[in-house]
Amino acid sequence: MSIKEETVRHVSGRLRRIIARHIRIEKLSIQVGELLTVSPGEARAIQALGQNRGVNINTLGVLLGVTRSASSQMVGKLVKKGLVEKHASECNNKEINIYLTKIGEEAFANHEAFHEKYFVELLDRLSGFSDTQIATAATILSVFEDVMDERMEELFDV
């Protein structure tokens, strides 16, 4: 086994472990305020809605990778919990735009703050690496991303 092969396997292994950890972390429910807990699925929806204000039900489904029906049901649950609001679209009478409520925004901000705290910690720990080294790492990761994109095309489209 060549050195290169070994180092690439090393990177792959790191990625696998990072993904495993991510999945475990994102499986947890989140406490918002005193009485409200947000399930992992709800948290994903809130994040998608926070980053895409006013999307309709259909698009939310695409963003979350679920059916239109699942998206509709999820929104219903979030409305009942007071985290989002439905507003009739201004351009037509069939689409419905979803917006975070005040509480929904709070939940979103909490989640973002969690990620930001994590990011700051990272920044500190990576201070020993040069900008070039980090940028190169990003480029290497982009190669992984590209290869995965092609795999996905094979798997889905055809």
Partner DNA sequence: CTAGTTTGTAAATCTGTTTAACAAAAAGTT
Partner DNA sequence: AACTTTTTGTTAAACAGATTTACAAACTAG
> Which residues lie near a copy of itself (CB under 8 A)?
3-5, 7-12, 14-15, 17-19, 21-25, 27-28, 65, 118-119, 121-123, 125-127, 129, 131, 133-138, 140-152, 155
30: Cβ–Cβ under 8 A, 6 or more apart, which residues? 37, 38, 43, 107, 110, 111
Which does residue 80 bind out of DNA, a copy of itself, none, counting CB within 5 to 8 angstroms by kind?
Answer: none
- The total number of residues written for the chain in this structure: 158
Q: Which is nearer to a copy of itself, 87 or 117 (CB)?
A: 117
Which does residue 1 bind out of DNA, a copy of itself, none, counting CB within 5 to 8 angstroms by kind?
Answer: none
x-marked contacts with DNA along 56-75 as a string, rule CB under 7 A: xxxx----x-xxxxx-xxxx
Query: Among residues 24, 34, 93, 123, which is the contact residue for DNA, using CB under 7 A?
Result: 93
63: Cβ–Cβ under 8 A, 6 or more apart, which residues? 48, 52, 55
13: Cβ–Cβ under 8 A, 6 or more apart, which residues? none
**Residues β-bridged to residue 88:** 96
Size of the site for DNA (CB under 7 A): 27
Token look-up 């994040």 returns 47
- Are the C-beta atoms of residues 89 and 59 closer than 8 Å to each other? no
Q: Which is nearer to DNA, 88 or 137 (CB)?
A: 88
- Are the C-beta atoms of residues 47 and 65 closer than 8 Å to each other? no
Give dist(CA 74, CA 44) in Å, integer: 10
Asked if residue 32 binds DNA (CB under 7 A), the reply is no
Which does residue 52 bind out of DNA, a copy of itself, none, counting CB within 5 to 8 angstroms by kind?
Answer: none
* Chain residues in the site for DNA (CB under 7 A): 39-42, 56-59, 64, 66-70, 72-77, 86, 89, 92-96
